[in-house]
Amino acid sequence: MRIVTFAREGFDAPRLGALISVDGVLDLTARHPGEEAFGSALAFLRAGPASWDLARAQIAKHGGAAESLAGAALLPPLPNPPLIRDWGTMIEHPRFFLRRRAEQLAARSADPEAAMAAAQADGSLELPPNWFTVPRFYTGNPLNMTGPDAEIAWPGFAESLDYELELAVVIGVGGKDIPVSRARDHIFGVTLFNDFTARDTQVAEGSPAGKSKDFDGAYAIGPCIATLDEIPDLYQLQVQSRLNGLVQTTRSTADMQLTFEDIVSYASRSCTLHPGELFASGTFEGGCGVETGRLLRDGDVIELEAQGIGALRNRIRRTAVPAAAAKA
């Protein structure tokens, strides 16, 4: 099933639903009036497998009675995840930034070519040897979540803004000290994840994450959370980014050097995981504007798409003067 949160005129609160085909939604909240488990996506996840099976039965029985999505607005499928962890599961994106930093430093030296050769020789262009045995992640602010077709307001403190093509799995069953071999049993489903980043702030901070990824709308997810039975092979899943309709990159989860099961297991060491937590993959190769040479501009439409999940589309809107410019 493909779980969504949606709003429609006349409703007093967002609804939990299931996408049916490409343009229909089965209102699960309406099918279970007054039942807490069907009042929100987070409550649904916390309710556990019995409620999920009940939803599947409703979809099988009443899917033909799905309402049109026309006039409805899809919201983040999980508007309030308790925690976001974003991981480095692939090689090329972090390696790109290592090389970029080395080139910036080399350009300031008397002999840039020699400086780059030295960086190559001393291993500065490679990831640490334990990158995939001691996985790296940062935690994000779940209050900055937005969803499909939402406008992303350009952060007023930033001069440059970028997107990042990622996937994220959603924890369905909590647990602690979960072995890799059983980690998939704890994953409810997968969604698209766009990690918007103020690149100039990131450079100034000298850190992959900080204020550069902490502003309203910094994280977009959607359009749905697809349960794993909707995905034929989680590690042969094609993903794509498009900017104003033009393809920027097409990659596959085959690029992942760490699996979602690996990072779920690692995070659970001496730490209880809870339903609704998001585990993002990190950025696919070529999945951001720094890598393609085209950062975001006012009015741009950025789309991420994945098989079985759909397309996550957001428009960029710049209205505020950056704080640095205002002080000049």
Answer yes or no: do 16 and 145 share one domain.
no
Give the pLDDT score at 324. Answer: 54
| 185 and 312 fall within a common domain | yes
Which domain range does residue 251 map to? 84-91+136-327
Domain assignment present for 37: yes
Q: Answer whether residue 325 shows pLDDT above 50.
A: no
- Domain of residue 185, CATH code: 3.90.850.10
277 within some domain = yes
* pLDDT, tens digit, 9 for 90 and up, residues 231-268: 999 999 999 999 999 999 999 999 999 999 999 999 99
Predicted confidence (pLDDT) per residue in 1-24, tens digit: 999 999 988 788 999 999 998 789
Q: What is the mean pLDDT of the chain?
A: 92
Each as own residue / partner, the long-range contacts of residues 62-68 (CB below 8 Å, 24 or more positions apart, any chain) are 62/26, 62/31, 63/18, 63/20, 63/26, 65/26, 66/20, 66/21, 66/24, 66/25, 66/26, 67/24, 67/25, 67/26, 67/27, 68/23, 68/24, 68/25
Residue 320's pLDDT is what?
Answer: 58
Same-domain pairing of 256 and 163: yes
Q: Of 26, 49, 75, which closes a domain?
A: 75
Q: Where among 24, 46, 75 does a domain terminate?
A: 75
Please state the pTM of the whole predicted model: 0.92
Output the DSSP codes for 5-27.
EEEETT-SS-EEEEEETTTEEEE
18: β partners: 3, 26
289 & 157 share domain:
yes
Q: Is residue 276 within 8 Å of 174, Cβ to Cβ? A: no
Domain count, the chain: 2
Whole-number percent of the chain with pLDDT over 90:
75
pLDDT mean over 287-301 = 96
Same domain for 50 and 189: no
In a domain, residue 123? The reply is no
Residue 69 pLDDT class (50, 70, 90 cuts)? confident
